Amino acid sequence: MAASRMATRVTAVLAAVGTIAALAVTLAAQRGFRGFQMSYEPDVSNVPYDGRFTFARLKYQVGPGGYYYYGMPAWAHGYNRAEDNLTRILNSISAVHPRLDQSNVFGVDDPELTKFPIAYMTEAGFWEMTDKEAAAFRAYLVKGGFVIFDDFRPPPRGGGGWEQFESNMHRVLPDAHIVDMSPTDPIFHVFFDIDSFDIIPQAYDGPNGRPIIRGIYEDNDPSKRLMAIINFNTDVSEYWEFSGQGLMPVDDSNEAYKLGVNYIIYGLTH
């Protein structure tokens, strides 16, 4: 009898294991595998342009290692809580009155992107791009688009890090010079006055790392329009994402929001 009961238990355990394995295979088939790591794409439901400022996040083909955070693609990190919180702050303190009920996600070659003057990309160290996408993104920026790059750093966590990003941008804008920004540049004074980069939150390495802000100007002329702002070696949007959950210092979150608001006001007025 004891042997019979033991056999029954073993059979039940094996059946349970088989069920779990089958479920894992089903989930893998639905979400896909990147190496040993399951990956999935977040649900996205875009809304048409209606004249209001609507936050537009850029999606892209993700390079190796870019599904490290809960299996999400690198472009989706912080989606959509980061933009929701930032636009609510923008709505509260400015006359922009952005769309609060929805944000959008576009590929860099999506024709719909051209209706939205400001685009945002996170984790640009994992960004992979085709020639077709490079040409379309070039047209967007030359036409008047403004892009915010945030949340990437040197490898291993940053994918290809700066080298990957710089290579992509020179495919988009072959003659562009990527320059270090100064606190005296207009973008840091369009709404809030940001007189020192020492206040910029460092989300990655605390006192051991230092954020770097760079930019690309139209025709490489600092007196002309800034086409891209680049937050490197930091993650400003992480403060937007987690500011309402008590996970980030209030003072640092306020400085991160000041940057975000200035970026958007600049993009809308230049």
pLDDT above 60 (res 206): no
Decide if 262 contacts 187 (C-beta within 8 A).
Answer: yes
Sheet holding 146-150, edge to edge: 104-107, 56-59, 118-122, 146-150, 226-232, 212-217, 179-180
What confidence tens digit (pLDDT) does each residue in 105-123 have?
999 999 999 999 999 999 9
Q: pLDDT value at position 41?
A: 82
Tokens of 45: 């439901």
Q: What is the pTM of this model?
A: 0.84
Contact 67, 73 (CB under 8 A): yes
- pLDDT higher for 25 or 99? 99
Q: What is the pLDDT of residues 22-59, one digit of tens each?
A: 333 333 333 333 444 456 788 899 999 999 999 999 99
In 3D, which of 39, 30, 49, 48 has the Cα closest to residue 77? 39
**Domain segments of the chain: what residues?**
47-269
Across all residues in the chain, what is the average pLDDT?
A: 85
Among residues 83, 45, 76, which one has the least CA distance to residue 61? Answer: 76
44 alpha carbon, distance to own chain's centre = 15
Q: What's the confidence (pLDDT) of residue 198?
A: 80
More confident residue, 27 or 64: 64
- Mean pLDDT within 133-155: 95
Confidence at residue 160, expressed as pLDDT on a 0 to 100 scale: 83
- Mean pLDDT within 212-221: 97
Q: According to the model, what pLDDT value does residue 245 have?
A: 83
pLDDT at 165: 96
Report the distance separating Cα 160 and Cα 63, nearest Å. 8
What CATH number is given for 47-269 in this structure? 3.40.50.12140
Q: Which residues of 31-50 are buried (b: 16+ CB within 10 A; e: fewer)?
A: eeebeeebbeeeeeeeeeee
Calculate the alpha carbon distances from 248 to 85, 150, 239, 243 in Å. 14, 17, 6, 6
List pLDDT tens digits, range 218-265. 999 999 999 999 999 889 999 999 988 878 888 989 999 999 999 999
pLDDT at 205: 60
**What is the average per-residue pLDDT within 51-77?**
93
- Per the listing, tokens 């922009």 go with 96
pLDDT digits (tens, 9 = 90+) for 157-167: 778 889 999 99
Residue located via tokens 């949340």: 151
For residue 6, the model assigns a pLDDT of: 35
